[in-house]
Structure 1
């Protein structure tokens, strides 16, 4: 979005006329009109005032950059990373639990087999 288009959008979002914005910045309505038409551009001091007034950085004001969207994207990426890390930890815990369950299961099977063999041997020994 061009600076002139952005200025029109910002001014209208605040519900200001060109004259009201001009009063806030210490310029005439005609000057604001020229900025919005792309016929001229504010000097650096006025850009700083515009940024302060609309609570935007100069990058957000003069470039086609939406820093809030960039910040939101960054926060979303951080949240996704945190979820991924938790998911990986949960997956590792599941693998560990499965290993212990398998180990415990094989131990139970081994003990049961040993008990069965001992039981058969004792029974066989009584018969003889």
Structure 2
């Protein structure tokens, strides 16, 4: 929703005419009309008055962004980031375990290979 559409929506929800809103803000009905048509924009002081009048932050008024939603989203992103970080640490730990198991398996195979070779060469295991 554009800023001018937001102004129209907020004014209508309060059941105000352009003239009534203009009176509350100290501007003419024509000025409010120009804001709502997107032909001009309120100056900073009027933006502050609008945000106070509609009981919302400037971000919410101008950008249509609820600061509480942004904070919640940031918390969610932090939690997701933490989950991904934990997952990456888990993957790294699994890789290390697999490497240790691979090394241990190789050591066992080498040990058995040496036993078989020793048995064959010494005549201990495979006697003819």
- Tell whether the structures are fold-level matches, with TM greater than 0.5: yes
Matching residue of 2:57: 56
Q: What TM-score, normalized to structure 2?
A: 0.57
Write out the 4+ residue segments of structure 1 that deviate beyond 6 Å after TM superposition. none
Unaligned runs of 5+ in 2: none
How far off its partner does 1:108 sit?
1.2
Most deviating of 89-98 and 36-45 = 36-45
Aligned length: 118
The offset of 1:100, in angstroms, is: 0.2
* Root mean square deviation of aligned Cα: 4.1
Q: Which runs of 5+ in 1 are unaligned?
A: none
**Alpha-carbon distance change, 116 to 11 in structure 1, aligned in 2, over 3 angstroms:** farther
Structure 2 residue aligned with 1:111: 111
Distance 1:75 1:66, change over 3 A: farther
Question: Structure with the greater relative contact order (CA < 8 A, sep ≥ 6): 1 or 2?
Answer: 1
Aligned to 1:123: 124
What is the TM-score when the length of structure 1 is the normalising length? 0.57
Distance, in Å, in 2 between the alignment partners of 1:68 and 1:119 is: 79
Whether contact under 8 Å (1:8, 1:36) holds in the other structure is: yes
Once the two structures are TM-superposed, the CA of residue 66 in structure 1 deviates from its matched residue by 4.1
CA distance in 2, matches of 1:79, 1:5: 35
